Structure 1
Amino acid sequence: MSEISHQSLPPGALEALQRPSNNGNRFTIRKLSDFDQGVLAVVRSQDTDPGALTHKFDLLCPRSGCGSIILKAGVGQWVESASVELDLTKEPLHPDLPALPTPPATVQWWLVTPSMMEFENIGFTRPVRQDVAAKSLKLLICAECDLGPLGWCEEGGSEFWLACSRVGYR
């Protein structure tokens, strides 16, 4: 195969490929804490199952200046479940990532099933093991800017958990 030279690319093509996919973040990223009613302001009932709640907004990377779409509206199901220790490093959290309560306290999650193909844009860390008896987890991060962890999944699993407080809403 021949190598593609920069001269064969149309004018502006290289710059367009290097530009962030969100076109400079032309919209405001709202955090869960920005809504007066909290999670009640961002959920809606599913048409097929009125008891199941989904998110009525696209879920975004919460980092100011990124805003990559992680999940389209209505894909994740709202679940309140036990917290998971996601912050495994000693480094301070990024200001756009609120701390999660220590397990076994509960957290509000967006549960995404049955596969990672439901996501628009998500990245995964290498497997991490919290203790010898636990299964390995992969932490969910923004695929554009690597901000995270935004959530988690068990290695090889079919359930993906995004913390409601660690994603942006649009």
Structure 2
Amino acid sequence: MSDQPLPPGALDALKRPSNAGDRSRIRKLSDFENGALAVFASHDKDPAELTHKFDLLCPRNGCGSVILKAGVGRWVERDSVELDITKQPLHPDLPALPAPPATAQWWLVAPTIMEFENIGFTKPVQQDAAVAPKLKFLICAECDLGPLGWCEEGVDEFWLACSRVGYR
């Protein structure tokens, strides 16, 4: 190992998140005139399956960490899930989801967690019913914003709310 000094600005560059230059390009689902129709496309291998044509990002202004590369998640409309179980107000970058049993739009990521670029999890949370499965909420691994989605404990399906991620 060499004892050469670092070039000027090198330490600051190493401390800066890798996506710092891309943060101004975060778009929310509500920014698209046609909503979800504008962000999905037919999958290359199965035209009936819809995937996202943009990278999915942390929606927090000032973060923008890449969560999932384009084309990995599959669009699904299914029952909404109660993600906001705390009594704290929602972060302004996280829109409310419809209350169950209404449906919501999701990006399904499977078969493994390794599909993600950058995601974190909360500890398991027990739903109201004692027999209901425990959920882990998906959060940004860089800034801890969330919940962005959820997964059942022990199941390899991960659900990101289409309205709670950024697009680039």
Quote the Cα distance in structure 2 between the aligned partners of 1:150 and 1:50: 27
User: What aligned pairs does 1:40-55 form with structure 2 within 5 A after superposition?
Assistant: 40-55=37-52
Percent of pairs identical after alignment? 76
**Which residue of 2 is the match for residue 140 of structure 1?**
138
CA displacement, residues 135-155 of structure 1 (integer Å, 9 cap, x when unaligned): 111100000110000000011
**Helix, strand or coil at the partner of 1:158:** coil
Q: Which amino acid aligns with 2:80?
A: S
One-letter identity of the residue aligned with 1:104: P
Change in CA separation of 1:13 and 1:157 when aligned onto 2, cut-off 3 Å: farther
For the pair 1:74 / 2:83, whether they are aligned, the reply is no
Q: 2:117 — aligned with what?
A: 120
Distance in 2 (alpha carbons) for counterparts of 1:125 and 1:80: 24
State the aligned residue count: 165
Aligned to 1:70, the other structure's residue is in SS state: strand
Partner of 1:10: 6
Does the residue aligned with 2:104 lie in a helix, a strand or coil? Answer: strand
Identify the residue that residue 163 of structure 2 maps to in structure 1. 165
Q: Is contact 1:25–1:65 with CA below 8 Å preserved after alignment? A: no
Counterpart-to-counterpart distance in 2, 1:8 and 1:47: 49
The answer as to whether partners of 2:67 and 2:117 remain within 8 angstroms in 1 is: yes
Unpaired runs of at least 5, structure 2: none
Q: More deviation in 32-41 or 8-17?
A: 8-17
> What's 1:90 paired with?
87
**Cross-structure match for 1:101:** 98
Q: Cα deviation per residue 1:87-120 (whole Å; 9 max; x = unaligned)?
A: 0110000011000011110000000000110000
Deviation at 1:24, TM superposition (A): 4.5
